[in-house]
Amino acid sequence: MNFYADLRREVCETAHRVYQKGWVAGTDGNVSARIAADRLLISPSGCCLGMLRPEELIEIDFIGEPVAGPGRPSSERWMHIAAYERRPDVSAAIHSHAPATVAFTLAGVEMDPCALPEVILSFGRIPITDYATPGTKEGAEIVKDLIQRFDALVLDRHGTLTVGQTMRDAYFKLDKLEHGAHVLLMAHGLGRTQRLAPQEVAKLAALREAMGLGRADDVPRECQSENPADRRSS
């Protein structure tokens, strides 16, 4: 078994799924995988993730320079590098333009962090970054602090960044994030979302920590508050 070749295939298979799901369009989005402490494979600039081939992946260092492979590395490589530098436990990253998630940022509407049990358990909360000009080093600046604590970020007016110990891990987090956005979008269409009772959120927060999914205090304090002013419907 050739680990390097297998990883290239897995990265491309994940990229194809992301495209098939409609989480990117055209040449949007990028995927990467760590292959050494200071090396990663990343999709090339201007490629369609739905057509990405293993031989097209580019090996780069953490300075952002190509080490091997054809073409130019993704212009969003700085964001990926920032994630790997701050998270030695992370081996894969996916940047998508997941439409439902992006729509919430365009509308200036919060994806209620206190409504969906699966989202609370898996993520604690999902921070929204500041806006950054796509394809620039600003991308690294807006994610570098938040990614140290959270595995899924919403990029204002841009998309998502999910990280994981494997490509599958990063992909499933993206899947759960965008699915949650769709559910909340439908709830908003029906009028509002109703938050879980604070004691139920507290149980999920404790379970999150017990299962090793993250810290209990990742869950927003307002979700566990008994103050009626904090327990508003969104």
Tell me, yes or no, if 118 is annotated catalytic.
Answer: no
Given 10, 59, 65, 76, which residue is catalytic? 76
3-state secondary structure the chain: CCHHHHHHHHHHHHHHHHHHCCCCCCCCCEEEEEEECCEEEECECCCCHHHCCHHHCEEEECCCCEEECCCCECCCHHHHHHHHHHCCCCCEEEEECCHHHHHHHHHCCCCCCCCCHHHHHHHCCCCECCCCCCCCCHHHHHHCCHHHCCCEEEECCCEEEEEECCHHHHHHHHHHHHHHHHHHHHHHHCCCCCCCCHHHHHHHHHHHHHCCCCCHHHCCHHHHCCCCCCCCCC
Catalytic residues: 76
